[in-house]
Structure 1
């Protein structure tokens, strides 16, 4: 039997951390106390003008390839999860392919599932590898969400940051990804969206992120608990066997509520939202790489990765690291 196993992780955060107090100094009507109490966020990273998602993705990918001991030309599949692509087209994945110097003609495409994007991309790559058609996939979540924020809207602009995270997924005989589940419900799209588009060379509609925070909170807590239970049951394992829950890093209260629903202590949860803010599709691989590099996540540990994002989309993956 062929499994897809994570061979290496990498991440990248642009520039220096921007604190809540830094945002206040920029003229945003808020405070460190207000932000931290409601979200748990203390800092985030913001890309400089001209830095794109593919730029962030390249560094995260290079770091993951180095850990995996892989040369870039060994990659035969690239999937980039992003809601902030460099261009309308070509895809950010093909731009990343070029920046990595990969010339073997491997498939490369983007996945747009907002904050669930990495779980979607990871699950797709798992299917490719399990089919036997591909052996080494580069799966990346990369975002420059600062480009779609209304900096006069304190309810949203303080929540998000920029960054990228990557994993190298390789074919293996020993178990890696054991179960995954993807879901969506488009009827909830108005509570978290960027309702603008480009037509005739002009932006029509609203080009900024808009969110109903309370509605998102209630929806996220419910579906994250449900989808985590689903993959645990599908894998035929017990919740007690989970070493780490690595959720989408949106809000510490959502993370705490999800852990409670799974009966997990926060000691078993990787939370980086205080340092990174919400980096959308990048948040799960960023948190994973952080925990791998600081020694919390070790080989042999069993992980649940899960995310929920605008669309609405949500999903989870259970794997042995």
Structure 2
């Protein structure tokens, strides 16, 4: 017997926005003098990174992405029942940046809105929340904005992370649809807070307040400099975490989905860097033709990498209606999350 038609959550549209500032490999070679421009590209897969202006916040990028979504005709602002803003670079400690964006975007005042403080796994977390709201009957149209300006946390003399990160935002419309099968999901999630010190901005929150001490720069053995107010990443530990946990998450997701890895049409993982992604692909034995990797013009944009990749793959005709796409986010926390998406 065919199952009854029910309300299911479906991704309807994406829109991405990049700030006007640029940081090229040639600039990094000149300023840092550690790697050549060619070596930076070979290692990271990145040629240029979008950089937000000093007075440009993640909310500004998210606002622009949402405005583009509305202008594209996917919906109008009055259609939105719930706004989710995922970022680790909010405008303020309080109020929630989602509340500021509700007003700025002209959304209805009976629209729900809150922030998710998640990094590279944040898009998948946002999808799960949106799906829950829609399929519980609490909302019909959810606007998920993922936006980060990590470059504001990076010390200009830190060669370890400055080669990787860019700033960007994505706006994703998730809507209710009558369907006889799920269009988003199943999901898997994972958390290991013991890894928190390996990817962190140590000072600036309530645990470690800003003081004269927190602005003092210290030099690593490799020559990189940073203060306690800057982003710190232990690259080796993060790589080990990803190669340990992500393959297990893929296996768990396939088990919940009820199909083998051969039934996945495309794999879109968090676009961290070329070296890490190639290590993952080889460990999982995924054909290159099914594995998306495109960091050249945007770099690692944290919570926005997966929707940017989904939009680019759709525009280039790589993913099409009916395709099954596995998305996996992983990083700061440690936090990871995966989902299956049926492209409409």
Q: 1:80 aligns with which of 85, 90, 100?
A: 85
CA spacing shift, 1:17–1:300, aligned 2, 3 Å:
farther
Cα offset, 1:68, TM superposition: 6.1
Aligned residue number for residue 256 of structure 1 = 278
1:176 aligns with 2:183: yes
Cα offset, 1:293, TM superposition: 2.0
1:217 aligns with 2:224: no
CA offsets, 1:62-93, max 9 Å, x none?
A: 33345562111111111111111111122221
1:311 aligns with 2:333: yes
Q: Quote the Cα distance in structure 1 between the aligned partners of 2:237 and 2:208.
A: 34
What number of residue pairs does the alignment pair up? 321
Aligned residue number for residue 127 of structure 1 = 132
Give matches, 1:179-218, under 5 Å: 179-198=186-205, 203-204=210-211, 205=214, 206-218=228-240
Q: 1:278 aligns with which of 269, 276, 300?
A: 300
CA spacing shift, 1:68–1:308, aligned 2, 3 Å:
farther
Cα offset, 1:37, TM superposition: 3.0
Q: Quote the Cα distance in structure 1 between the aligned partners of 2:124 and 2:109.
A: 26
Cα offset, 1:145, TM superposition: 0.9
1:39 aligns with 2:61: no
Give matches, 1:35-114, under 5 Å: 35-67=40-72, 69-114=74-119
Query: C-alpha root-mean-square deviation of aligned residues, in Å?
Result: 2.0
| TM-score of the pair, normalised by structure 1 | 0.93
Q: Quote the Cα distance in structure 2 between the aligned partners of 1:91 and 1:81.
A: 11
Cα offset, 1:34, TM superposition: 3.2
Consecutive unaligned residues in structure 2, runs of 5 or more: 1-5, 215-227
Cα offset, 1:146, TM superposition: 1.0
Cα offset, 1:268, TM superposition: 1.1
SS of corresponding position for 1:96: helix
Consecutive unaligned residues in structure 1, runs of 5 or more: none
Contact 2:32 2:159 in 1 (8 A): no
